[in-house]
Amino acid sequence: MSALDVRTFSLGPIQTNAYLVRPHASASEAVLVDPGEEPQRLLDALAALGVGVTAILITHCHFDHVGAVAPMARSTGAPVWCPEGERLVLADISSFTWPGFGPFEGYAADHLLAGGERLTLAGLDIEVLSTPGHSPGHITFAMSPSRADRDSSDESAVGLFSGDVLFAGSVGRVDLPGGDWDVLEASIASLMARFPSSTNVYPGHMTITTLGRELASNPFLGELRARTVPTGPQAAPAASASAASSSLLR
């Protein structure tokens, strides 16, 4: 076995992606990434799959990614792993929620992450990567089935759960508090350098993509593309920048 079993739930009015991740489809335990809203929908899915939640992992603490953390932690008993620099936002999320959204319940994180940690949870090997720029404490989770369940040379085994760093054809906004384009671009470049181009990216919004596809055609990565030495076939032409998303918290 090698490929992850990933179930995607686009939740709430901003359609934030939450992910239920297992090392394989028959596993009875999973991790839950960024439960932003609709806790009952997530609980119903867990019951239908017969799956327990070992841990709740948060890429960053914007309200659309953490709005359902408290009810999901309470209902599943799973500990919450949160970016260290954003723990106060999670604890007092109502103070950071835009008018017209919520109400959401704050939660005191059980574990804090800064990047550089390696976790083993629910049969998954998880590398925690610091990827600020969209938010100051943003992290990305590189997940793969535990070494016992995979070929260590199998590149398809790794998936990046990138929150609002990188999207299909777009990137995270940098006009929110703590946002910084140069820092975000450097975070994206670090992912490109660290992982193969075939690596799947599971973003916080929109559809799954790959690092290679975004390096080849993402309209926001033109400067990064120009600095990158091609290692494969000729890159595809860049898409028009007008195609980029500009919605809400993305």
Q: Is the N-terminal amide bond of 233 cis, ω within 30° of 0? A: no
Per-residue confidence (pLDDT) for residue 72, from 0 to 100:
98
At 204, which amino acid appears? G
CATH of the domain at 25: 3.60.15.10
- 243 lies in some domain: no
Percent of the chain with pLDDT over 90: 77
Please tell me the distance from the alpha carbon of residue 41 to that of residue 149, in angstroms, as a whole number. 30
- 235 lies in some domain: no
17-37 confidence digits (pLDDT tens): 999 999 999 999 999 999 999
Q: Which domain holds residue 73?
A: 5-230
How many domains is the chain partitioned into structurally? 1
- 250 lies in some domain: no
- 73 lies in some domain: yes
Percent of the chain with pLDDT over 70: 86
- 145 lies in some domain: yes
Question: Residue 247: CB partners within 8 Å, gap ≥ 6?
Answer: 14, 205
CB burial readout 31-40, b (16+ within 10 A) else e: bbbbbbbbbe
119-157 confidence digits (pLDDT tens): 999 999 999 999 999 999 999 999 999 976 655 555 568
- 21 lies in some domain: yes
- 240 lies in some domain: no
